[in-house]
Amino acid sequence: MGSSQERQNCAFCAIASGAAPAAIVFEAEDSVGFLPLNPATFGHTLIIPRRHFRDLWEIPKDVMADLMKSALVVAHGIRDALRPEGMNIINSAGEVASQTIFHIHVHLVPRWQDDRMGRLWPPDEPQDEAARRETARRIAEYIAI
């Protein structure tokens, strides 16, 4: 659950507790949804658990399940209110994946043709088939249910 110091200095913990202001769009017992200060698109919303977990490798499965249920509720609200043409649901874990606040969060990013986000993936060149199969084998070997 992150260090005590990390939790004390966490901007998202401050929002979740009501100690910091935010443009809140959703509140539940275990989660909060709010607009980020620098949205990627109009209506971009963050969903966070009220409890501090650093990233998806730290959050318990049941808490993550509840977080995604909240994300689904908010996603429907965004769709009904803003009528986007699509939506990205994004979670970044670790600095190399662009995580900048180390309190797990889910981005709901409404999308429109030619919005400022642009195309995210896949790359234009497909992965070598043998490498793809070997990667799948390696991942499957380590999955524990």
Find tokens 């698109």 and name the residue: 41
CA pair distance 88, 32, nearest whole angstrom: 19
Helix ranges, the chain (H): 4-8, 11-17, 61-82, 129-142
105 classed as catalytic: yes
Rounded to an integer, what distance in angstroms lies between the CA atom of residue 130 and that of residue 49? Answer: 39
Going by C-alpha positions, the residue among 41, 56, 63, 46 that lies closest to residue 11 is: 46
Residues facing residue 140 across a β-bridge: none
Catalytic residue among 44, 52, 103, 105: 105
Two structure tokens written together for 45 = 């919303």
Catalytic positions are 105
